[in-house]
Amino acid sequence: MNMFDIIALGELLIDFVPTGLTEQGHIIFEANPGGAPCNVLAMANQLGKKTAFIGKVGKDMFGVQLRETLKKVGIEDKGLIDDSEVNTTLAFVKNEENGERSFSFYRNPGADMNLKKNEIDLDLLSSCKVFHFGTLSMTHEQVREATKHAIDTAKQNKSLISFDPNLREPLWDDLNSAKEQMLYGCSMCDILKIEEKELEFLTGKTSIQEGIDILKSNSDIKIIFVTAGSEGSYVFYKDQMLYQPAFLNDKTIDTTGAGDTFYGACLAQILNFDIEEISNEHLQEILTFSNAAASILTTRKGAICSMPKVEEVLELIKIRNK
């Protein structure tokens, strides 16, 4: 019997998000628990799913904060390792004038990239319906080996494999290597969430449909979600493509974690169905709910501790449908 609905492996870090300026004009940063895999898990928790995380943090004040955060939001932390030699990874977020974000990472090295193959909790992996990962745990050889070992183990245990490339270009010495690992992830997964620009990077196609056609011709992915920021989201399933506009609002203050919120909601809802038999109606409902959840998240600082409750999401959908 499966104990966990979703187990994720990867980075758990502190996102320093700008919150204003001092009297002298210096930027004020707020230290928010973050990291895409746990953002995904946190949203899935809000939909009643049982989750666990595998990764590594430093044995420092930030590592303590992150472990306490997992416990607070209900993510099982038995797979989280403390590293006494390398500090917790930090990410500083800058909001650009065009609405995009840029990142400065303090990760050379960072504890998350220090995870070793023999530190993976194999008993934990034997008890999950979905195993989720991204590419930040594939930027360096040691953690890449650990990630691939976890993927192989999850596959052997008949778990569905979920992948989000989450490309962060500054963390790669060679973008050809980034593409190689992204293609590997696509070749191993059953469920994929990819951002529009990542799809173009991977396939060379500016058309979403053309990019998806290339991915599907080289993989056995069952469901592909594509996020396109303020344009909304798409799902590709079998021979179907469905689209849902974004829930735009004028209260957005921070888009960090919005894509993870969307995907956490998607994964949690997919688990309510047989992945081989999901109707278009249900797929449209999944997109609508997930877009609404992401929209609410952008009105708050941080991600892991700021995920919307189901009631909030349903209320937003109800308001927009009036």
Tens digits of per-residue pLDDT, 263-299? 999 999 999 999 999 999 999 999 999 999 999 999 9
Q: Which has the higher per-residue pLDDT, 254 or 33?
A: 33
Amino acid residing at 14: I
**Burial of residue 98, with CB atoms counted within 10 A of its CB: 0-12 exposed, 13-18 middle, 19 or more buried:** exposed
Q: Which domains does the chain have, with CATH numbers?
A: 4-10+35-88+108-321 (3.40.1190.20)
Model's pTM, two decimal places? Answer: 0.95
Picking from 136, 126, 110, the residue whose alpha carbon sits closest to that of residue 38 is 136
Q: Residue 312: what pLDDT?
A: 97
Residues in a beta bridge with 57: 82
Q: What pLDDT is stored for residue 19 in this prediction?
A: 87
Per-residue confidence (pLDDT) for residue 56, from 0 to 100:
98
Q: Please check the confidence at residue 1 and state whether its pLDDT lies above 60.
A: no
